[in-house]
Amino acid sequence: MNSTNMISTEIERELAQATQLQRQGQGARAAEIYRKVLKLSPKIAPAHYNLALLLKDQGKPAAADKAFKSALKCSPEYVMAWTAYARFLSDRGRHRDAVRASIRAAHLQELSGPAVQELADRLKAAGRSDLGSIGEDALLLCLGRRDVSGDGTILAVLTRLLAHPALKKLLSPGIGKDTSEKLLEEPRAAAAFFAALTEPMVAAAFTSLILPLREVEQLLIFARRVAQKSQMKIPIEALAVLALQIDLAEYALPTGESSNGAPSDELRAAVFSALMAPLDPKAAASLLEKHKEALVTKRYTRELLLRQGPEKLRERLLKDKLIVLSASADDVSHKVQAQYEESPYPRWRGLRSGGEVTLPALVKSLFPGLVIPKLKNAPKVLIAGCGTGRHALRTIRRIIGADVTAIDLSRTSLAYACRQAEDLGIKLRFAQADITALPDDLGRFDLIECCGVLHHMADPEAAWKGLIRHLAPHGLMKIALYSENARQDVVAVHQLVGDKLSTLDLDDVRHLRQQLLALSEDHPAAPVTRELDFYSLSGCRDFLFHQQEQRFDLSRIGGALKNMNLEFFGFEFADPRPLAAYRQRFPQDISAQNLANWAEIEIGSPTLFRGMYQFWCRPLS
């Protein structure tokens, strides 16, 4: 064996040892070996990369940055290094550089769903940071993808829109209705606005995301009015972009004035009509087929007709084919079903990609301090109350080997879920059922998830107890419930509405939305207007005007767990900071399972559980 081969063999042995030590948490010893290897052979990219990770964890950002750069200099196509470097930069607040690194990683992975989802996450982390043109490039890669959830990019999108020359005055924070209307009545400003709508990034934003800003809603109202009354020839594609944003919000705007006369052009007339109300699905589908050739160059007009035509018709067909396991069992179930038949929620467009994991590994990552034995690697999963299917489809994509059954009261919601599953090529079982009256032969499941559902029932604890009957031995539950403390602004809305809450129709919801937008900033109900759900009709109805809502506190949850003989594993947070804050305050409870301690923290942070109490549990053996 020559000396070069001997060195190579020695390096491989040293790298293997360092990697093993790194996995065992012996970072200092591993770093020492990586440095030794790099002295012998300074162009080994994995050694630089692993050293960078160790230096980051040791709180040495400058050295970590240098090591990441060395890894990428040695191997410019090192995908893992680009991805990790992007996250590192993001954590350091260097968001523009993070997005640039994430774009590089995405292209190296041929813009796969998981790679672009990672980019969307970097945009989410950037929030309102000024990303410059690289931010626009990133948004164009993320928006409009069916295999990427773009909701997290909303702040980045709004930041770009607020800086746009044709939009910034119209969307300036706090702009009054009179000022906004006068600006848009000026022909030059109106022409610039409608021209901007067809620019790639602006169009992607308006056609892919609900834009949750009162100034945007105000602009939509006046733009629609100008379009209806204007003598100038507004491009049909600009009108279609406007209509698609109004459609995403499910026509939550106040009922507008009809135009004086429909245009003679059939397609143009349809788009004008869609500014005011959804098109008849059969008519939209017919126009799509009739004008197939003309629509080749009219991307947004075609998309508008597709969403309001063939997509709706497919949902009707799928609705008729749904299996019925049980019907609404009580008056409350009947009312809740009626709400979601009329207003299925949420009407989502993109599904998150990436992050695939086995159930045991997922639970371990959530609760590293606990030993939770006998978890299935290929679990049977029940999504109880799946709505329009986003959570169910994400679960089957997220948990490797999962066999998913998803049930809901609303056939309209289930039909939406079925269409989305077909479009994404995901197979699972959907069925109509009332959680309060599940059939005995439904089966047993290794994981039951019931998120955002039980608090809409007459007796949440009884329904929860009924679900336990369908747990397999050693099965887990994930439950999510409204927090009383976190929804005090919603309580204030209910007090404003009073007894009319149970009799509201969609026009009432539209009217009430405008009343809420007119509240002073210090009104206890005003914060609801800063939430995404406020800006779509079904979202607003689910968020503020539900037919049935109960709210929980931690004492009630603790009592339910005790009465049902359930072991509480802990809360699941999307953001690691609440758990870090808990452990800093209560270092003796590393597993963060003490509900009394959490109640103390919630007193100081009333909106901590704005996204519901989301927790995992299991029957005590």
What mean pLDDT comes out for the span 268-297? 97
Q: What is the mean pLDDT of the chain?
A: 94
Residues 38, 44 contacting (CB under 8 angstroms):
yes
CA distance 327 to 540: 26
pLDDT at 260: 57
Residue ranges with strand state E in 440-505: 445-451, 471-481
H-run or E-run covering 533: none
Domains present along the chain, CATH in parentheses: 3-134 (1.25.40.10), 164-308 (no CATH), 331-484+551-619 (3.40.50.150), 486-544 (no CATH)
pLDDT at 257: 64
pLDDT at 327: 86
Give the single-character DSSP code of 514.
H
pLDDT at 261: 64
Per-residue pLDDT for 528 more than 60?
yes
pLDDT at 8: 79
CA distance 464 to 552: 14
Q: HSE (CB half, 13 Å, CA atoms) of 59?
A: 0
pLDDT at 130: 94
List, in order, residues 6 or more apart from 23 with CB less than 8 Å away: none
- What are the tokens at 553? 């506190």
Residues 236, 271 contacting (CB under 8 angstroms):
yes
CA distance 157 to 86: 20
pLDDT digits (tens, 9 = 90+) for 376-390: 999 999 999 999 999
Q: What percent of the chain has pLDDT over 70?
A: 97
CA 489 to chain centre: 22
Per-residue pLDDT for 478 more than 90?
yes
Q: What percent of the chain has pLDDT over 90?
A: 89
Q: What ranges in 236-308 are assigned the alpha helix state H?
A: 236-248, 266-274, 281-290, 299-308
pLDDT at 231: 60
pLDDT at 259: 60
pLDDT digits (tens, 9 = 90+) for 291-314: 999 999 999 999 999 999 999 999
List, in order, residues 6 or more apart from 565 with CB less than 8 Å away: 619, 620
- What are the tokens at 507? 């026009």
Residue 594's DSSP bridge partners are none
Question: Which of the four pLDDT bands, split at 50, 70 and 90, describes residue 5?
Answer: very low
Q: 364: burial class by Cβ within 10 Å (0-12, 13-18, 19+)?
A: middle
pLDDT at 2: 43
Residues 478, 450 contacting (CB under 8 angstroms):
yes
What mean pLDDT comes out for the span 558-570? 97
Question: Which of the four pLDDT bands, split at 50, 70 and 90, describes residue 3?
Answer: very low
Higher pLDDT, 449 or 369: 449
Per-residue pLDDT for 6 more than 80?
no
CA separation (Å) from 333 to 191, 327, 414, 458, 585? 50, 9, 16, 8, 42
Pairing of strands 445-451, 471-481: parallel
H-run or E-run covering 353: none
Higher pLDDT, 261 or 345: 345
Residue 89's DSSP bridge partners are none
CA separation (Å) from 228 to 81, 305, 307? 53, 19, 22
Per-residue pLDDT for 544 more than 90?
yes
pLDDT at 255: 84
Residues 384, 454 contacting (CB under 8 angstroms):
no
- What are the tokens at 620? 């005590």
Pairing of strands 380-384, 403-408: parallel
What mean pLDDT comes out for the span 81-88? 98
What mean pLDDT comes out for the span 544-549? 95
Question: Which of the four pLDDT bands, split at 50, 70 and 90, describes residue 502?
Answer: confident
pLDDT digits (tens, 9 = 90+) for 385-420: 999 999 999 999 999 999 999 999 999 999 999 999
CA distance 53 to 353: 24
pLDDT at 328: 82
Order the strands of the 613-619 sheet from edge to edge: 323-324, 429-432, 403-408, 380-384, 445-451, 471-481, 613-619, 566-571
Phi and psi torsions of 521, nearest 5°: -60, -25
Per-residue pLDDT for 557 more than 80?
yes
Residues 303, 207 contacting (CB under 8 angstroms):
yes
H-run or E-run covering 332: helix 331-342
Per-residue pLDDT for 534 more than 80?
yes
What mean pLDDT comes out for the span 306-335? 95
Q: What pTM was computed for the model?
A: 0.94
What mean pLDDT comes out for the span 53-72? 96
Higher pLDDT, 414 or 499: 414
CA distance 61 to 494: 49
CA distance 429 to 538: 25
CA distance 277 to 529: 23
Question: Which of the four pLDDT bands, split at 50, 70 and 90, describes residue 258?
Answer: low
- The residue with tokens 């602004």 is 489
Q: What ranges in 75-213 are assigned the alpha helix state H?
A: 79-91, 95-108, 113-126, 132-142, 154-163, 177-185, 187-196, 200-208
459, amino acid identity: D
pLDDT digits (tens, 9 = 90+) for 99-123: 999 999 999 999 999 999 999 999 9
pLDDT digits (tens, 9 = 90+) for 109-158: 999 999 999 999 999 999 999 999 999 999 999 999 999 999 999 999 99
Q: 232: burial class by Cβ within 10 Å (0-12, 13-18, 19+)?
A: exposed
CA angle 462, 464, 468 (to 5 degrees): 110
Higher pLDDT, 9 or 203: 203
Torsion of CA 526, 159, 227, 245, to 10 degrees: -70
